[in-house]
Amino acid sequence: FSSTETIFQGSLFGSTEEDERTQILYRASDLLAAGFTKGTINQLSFNVTQKASLFPFQNLNIKMGCTFKTELNDSVWEPTTPVYSTTLFTTVAGWNDIFLQSTFDWDGNTNIVIEICHRIGRIRKTRTIASLRRKKDANVNKPEKEMII
């Protein structure tokens, strides 16, 4: 990609649920408008604006896929392919860089689906400003409020 533009803001790691699975849709039109170009994705970064989690997230799995769908359906998960997995993941305040174990090639035409799954292991109170629904469409022009993790 040719840009470091922030496309989505929300709460990926701020759930009080023991297990969490989220899919985010990035529309090709929004990515292109933000300056991205087709190419190989080898890293994802998430900006934690205020860290509130006390324990590492367990069994973090990230998957990616392409689709021509322009919206996600709450009753159907989009097919994705594993690109990253770790047994423990601790967030830090600021940018959290995840270097993919398997790169992902984006053609510049299809929409990208990113799926993030993790287990908290210990339920704790977590204050969130904006919680993600089960699935969330990313939109460059209408970002969610910043997250507290």
17 CB burial (10 A radius; 0-12, 13-18, 19+): exposed
H helical segments located in the chain: 28-33
Q: pLDDT of 72-129, one tens digit each?
A: 887 888 899 999 999 988 888 888 899 999 999 999 999 999 998 887 665 444 433 3
Q: What's the confidence (pLDDT) of residue 73? A: 80
Minimum mean pLDDT among 10-19, 104-113, 127-136: which range? Answer: 127-136
Are the beta carbons of 34 and 140 closer than 8 angstroms? yes
Give CA–CA dist 22/92, Å, rounded.
Answer: 20
Q: What's the confidence (pLDDT) of residue 13? A: 62
Q: What's the confidence (pLDDT) of residue 65? A: 96
Q: What's the confidence (pLDDT) of residue 15? A: 52
Give CA–CA dist 70/123, Å, rounded.
Answer: 34
Q: pLDDT of 19-65, one tens digit each?
A: 677 888 899 999 999 899 999 999 998 887 777 777 788 888 999 99
Q: What's the confidence (pLDDT) of residue 131? A: 31
Give CA–CA dist 99/85, Å, rounded.
Answer: 10
Q: What's the confidence (pLDDT) of residue 16? A: 56
* 140 vs 35, residue with greater confidence: 35
